[in-house]
Structure 1
Amino acid sequence: MSEENAQPEQAAEKTKKAEKAAGKEAKKEEPQGPAYTGYDADFFVTPQDLLNAVGKLDQAGFFLEDVSCVDMQEGFQMVYHFDRFDQPGRVGIRVMISKENPEVPSIYDIYPGAAWHERECFDFFGVRFKGHPNLLPLLLAPDHDGPPPLLKEESALKDLHQIYPDRAHSPVSADSQEFIQAITNCSNKPSRDQS
């Protein structure tokens, strides 16, 4: 090894030894998120029960991660993901709505950060969010008069059983024991700071 190459290695080794002596060993970053924690609850709810479900998540300390829309054979699937800063785990809420009347309640009053997510779904899929305070185009030109740009061709649409072959697709009530228990399980996990 040349003297030129040895100097950076020796300096790095000295730094490690000095940090170790000072008790400042580099902490390993622990993996986070539902893939690591193993807790990821996912539910279908009806449009009428969406605000009830979202309200329960808000009361339990969850924050809104995202809102998205999927064009499917059965209609549009609205997907909402919620997480917590202090606990590992994630809860997903899915709502099926028809393409003939693509409307779902806005969650803006519970999570104001949903405003832009909902406007994006309005732009790209034509989904209307009842109660949204400013449902105007976000990315498309205000005079856009064509079809929503992310609608799929009929031949590209998949049905629920193709996408989720091993799970139930029936909506659960936000007041059901199953839903309440999932929120409780996620809320009672040890915090990231305690582990």
Structure 2
Amino acid sequence: MSNPKATPDDSAKQKTASKDKKPGGPVYTGYDQEYFLALEDLLQAVRVLDQEGFFLEDISCLDIQEGYLVVYRFNRFEQPGRVGLRVIADRDDPHVPSIWDIYPGAAWHERECFDFFGIRFRGHPNLIPLLLDPEHKGPPPLLKDESNRKALAEILPDRDVSPVSPQSREFRQQILDCSIQDHRKQS
């Protein structure tokens, strides 16, 4: 039964609202905390997450105008608290510290980023192709032409991309707080 006083705008609002909230489903998705780091601070931040009981979900990469955006995603089993760490590797010398000695499962993810983007992970014990033919010639397959690369501000608008220090008290406190505050409660 339709509402005789409803306007076309009301109908559009209802459709949008139904996409944002699923009955019985979570209202929240995404990260509880997200940080940009300088490359030299990556291992320190990963150690903090390991000490606080986080596991590595995955590592991914994106070819952007500023270089290569390498994204690390962490979560917990016992408490909510999804954390994202982001670093930018230089296009001319794409090296990132390997985290395999902290999270051994990272070795597979790092090899995949090596295959598809050419990122070299310093300290990786076996940086050989994972999915591509070892005889693959030519550039890594997921590199974009310069004209197709987007700027970081286009990809992550309204985000603070200033690097944070994992040695700061605020960083550790925010990591602890993201597990205490449950942003995923349903309304």
Please point out which of 93, 111, 126 is paired with 1:134: 126
SS at match of 1:88: coil
1:185 paired with 2:177, answer yes
Distance 1:88 1:33, change over 3 A: farther
Higher gyration radius (CA): 1
Partner of 1:74: 66
Amino acid at match of 1:76: Y
CA contact (8 A) 2:31 2:84 kept: no
CA contact (8 A) 1:39 1:186 kept: no
Distance 1:53 1:176, change over 3 A: same
Query: Counterparts of 1:77-96 in structure 2 under 5 Å?
Result: 77-96=69-88
Q: Which has the higher contact order (CA 8 A, sep 6+)?
A: 2
Separation of aligned partners in 2, 1:33 and 1:118 = 32
CA contact (8 A) 1:81 1:90 kept: yes
Question: C-alpha displacement at 1:124, in angstroms?
Answer: 0.2
Question: C-alpha displacement at 1:146, in angstroms?
Answer: 0.7
> What per-residue deviation string (whole Å, max 9, x for no partner) do you get for residues 2-49 of structure 1?
xxxxxxxxxxxxxxxxxxxxxxxxxxxx756951xx861100001100
Separation of aligned partners in 2, 1:39 and 1:125 = 25
Distance 1:54 1:46, change over 3 A: same
Amino acid at match of 1:163: I
- Give unmatched runs, 5+ long, in structure 1: 1-29
Sequence identity percentage:
62
- Give unmatched runs, 5+ long, in structure 2: 1-23
Separation of aligned partners in 2, 1:162 and 1:189 = 29
Amino acid at match of 2:55: F
* TM-score, structure 2 as length reference: 0.80
1:102 paired with 2:98, answer no
Question: C-alpha displacement at 1:92, in angstroms?
Answer: 0.2
Separation of aligned partners in 2, 1:33 and 1:63 = 23
1:63 paired with 2:72, answer no
Partner of 1:48: 40
Number of positions where the alignment pairs a residue of Structure 1 with one of Structure 2 = 161
* TM-score, structure 1 as length reference: 0.77
Separation of aligned partners in 1, 2:139 and 2:171 = 36
Partner of 1:162: 154
